[in-house]
Structure 1
Amino acid sequence: MSLPAPALEHVCDLAVTIDTPVEVGTTAMGLRRMIPITGGTVTGPLMRGRIVAGGADFQLIVGDGTQAHLDARYVLELNDGTRVFVQNKALRVASAEDSAKIRRGEPVDPTRVYFRCQPIFEASTPQWSWLAEHQFIGVGLRLPDAVHLSFYKVC
């Protein structure tokens, strides 16, 4: 017996500004990088605000450079003043050539890159408690100086 497929509800779009990557180097696990998050905006039907500077995206690049396992942690400040902690784990997969371009900060056709994420939210105010009571998924786009994300609540 198959159950009905879940529906998705658009929550928001993020335009995340980033700084120059900090290259840790190749470890036994793969290539490690840290991408500083410098700010950005949150727009959408259910959330609006800004991204607080000071977060970072910690990356592990494996598969001969074609897979990037991302773990970004940052804070949103919503228009009502509520601050929301976000941990966003993602997988980005592209060809070796496109992956090298991304690492060099060059543009890549987004249709050639698989970029999906699973954000988890923590908020301290009752009106945002629903963020901890649902699952979310997202899609991403890496630009040379920014990351764009769209988040969806799984209903």
Structure 2
Amino acid sequence: MNNLPHRHLITMTLTVDFAGMISIGQTPAGLRRIAPVTGGHFAGERLNGTVLPGGNDWVVNREDGVMVIDVRLTLQTDDGAMVYLNYQGRFLAEAEAMSRFRKGALLERHEYSLAIIAKFECGDSRYSWLNNVIAVGTGEQTAAGPVYSIFEIG
């Protein structure tokens, strides 16, 4: 069996304004909400910087209990390059844990799974390599927002 070749790209910490979350309401897709991302930071061997305010997480809580996330962010590297980051994923937990989570509870790490697929875009030639990166990640819940470990595949 072959191992999937991967390399740590960044660890990213987001600050989310949970109190400022907008509820669109129950739609055919599920309960739709929009959570503002107000900032954060990221660090890795080849990429470091700040998450700029103005991003959002378009969240859908599906009828089957799964929370689907769709996040769009603007990153600024320490040396001034602007990077667009878009990722989709899902937050899975047993029904009882998900009920506590929806009420604002912090879950224990073993109670949930948060996984994402990420895509980067950058017009700065110093970071043009990001345009071809295939990335996946896992996340951990904190009171301020998620912390992701994102890995480049292949």
TM-score range (shorter-chain normalised) is over 0.9
Mind listing any 5+ residue stretches in structure 2 that lack a counterpart?
A: none
Alignment of 1:69-108 (within 5 A): 69-108=68-107
Secondary structure at 2:24 match in 1: strand
Equivalent residue number for residue 117 of structure 1: 116
Cross-structure match for 1:58: 58
Secondary structure (helix, strand or coil) at the match of 1:53 reads coil
In the alignment of these two chains, the number of paired residues is 152
Q: Which residue of 1 aligns with 2:28?
A: 28
Q: Tell me, which stretches of 5 or more residues in structure 1 are unaligned?
A: none
Deviations 1:72-130, CA, capped at 9 Å, x for gaps? 00100001100100111011111112112222221101122111101100001112111
1:67 aligned residue: 66
- Residues 105 and 143, structure 1, Cα contact 8 Å, conserved in 2: no
Aligned AA for 1:15?
T
Aligned-residue sequence identity (percent) comes to 25
Q: Return 20-29 or 107-116, whichever deviates more.
A: 20-29
Task: Verify the 8 A CA contact 2:120 2:133 in the aligned structure 1.
Answer: no
SS, match of residue 54 in structure 2:
strand
2:129 matched residue in structure 1: 130
Alpha-carbon offset, residue 145 of structure 1: 2.3
SS at match of 2:143: coil
TM-score norm. by structure 1 comes to: 0.92
- C-alpha distance in 1, partners of 2:40/2:32? 24
Root-mean-square deviation (CA, aligned residues, Å) is 1.4
Compare 75-84 and 103-112 and name the one that shifted more: 103-112
C-alpha change, 1:22 and 1:125, in structure 2 (3 Å) is: same
Distance in 2 (alpha carbons) for counterparts of 1:76 and 1:96: 34
Shift of 1:9: 0.2
Q: Secondary structure at the match of 1:9?
A: strand
Distance change >3 Å, CA 144–CA 104, structure 1 → 2 = farther
Cross-structure match for 1:19: 17
**1:35 aligned partner, one-letter code:** A
